[in-house]
Amino acid sequence: MTESEFLDYWNQEYPETFPINYDLKWVYPHRWFRIHSLPESKRYTESADEYKIILDRQNQLINDLIGEESEVVISFGLYTNEITSDNYKELTDFGEFLKVLTIDLHKEKPEEYDDEMYFDIYIKIENWRNGNRDEILKAIADDKIRAMFISPSKKCVIAPYDGGVDVIVDTTEKRDNFKIKYKAWISDREDGM
């Protein structure tokens, strides 16, 4: 998948929003579910054992959603006050990401953002392997970065955050099946948060 193919895919499957992980649950609530990464909805880790629980749960979920060796797009965004064409090299531990889109936030949501506020979207395409992205999952759990995993072939978005994982699948039925399967990891709250 090329960068332009990714954008075409996104615009076809998620036309109501940009690839911004925190927006998805509001735009696609009928396809969304959330798991918590730690028992009793605990948000942050305090031990190596808790990191192991997070990584075990998240790897199991991702494997279940997309499978080993499936192509996955890792995507993240950065806020900026100027338009650039640079690729992002500072996350060298996770490889180089290519910029595919700049969103003019003020133009899209003038009531929320000041003039000259942009959001750059970067991607990296690779094959998913169990445990091969533990470092990025750990950094997300520690709220050091934000990223999501997009599987065009399985039509799902997996958006870990510091506390859990938001998932968007392609049908309500599939979402409901996963909610049953992962019931022990889902919030008791009525809104699923």
Domain-by-domain residue ranges, the chain? Answer: 3-185
Sign of CA dihedral 74, 79, 80, 81: positive
Write the DSSP string, 101-114.
EEEEHHHH-TTTS-
Name the residue type at position 173: E
Per-residue pLDDT tens over the stretch 30-59: 999 999 988 888 888 888 999 999 999 999
The beta strands (E) that lie in the chain are given as 32-36, 71-80, 98-104, 118-127, 148-151, 156-161, 164-168
Please indicate, yes or no, whether the overall pTM of this predicted structure exceeds 0.75.
yes
Q: What is the mean pLDDT of residues 25-32?
A: 93
Is residue 147 within 8 A of residue 74, CB to CB? The reply is yes
Per-residue pLDDT tens over the stretch 100-141: 888 888 888 888 877 888 888 889 899 999 988 999 999 999
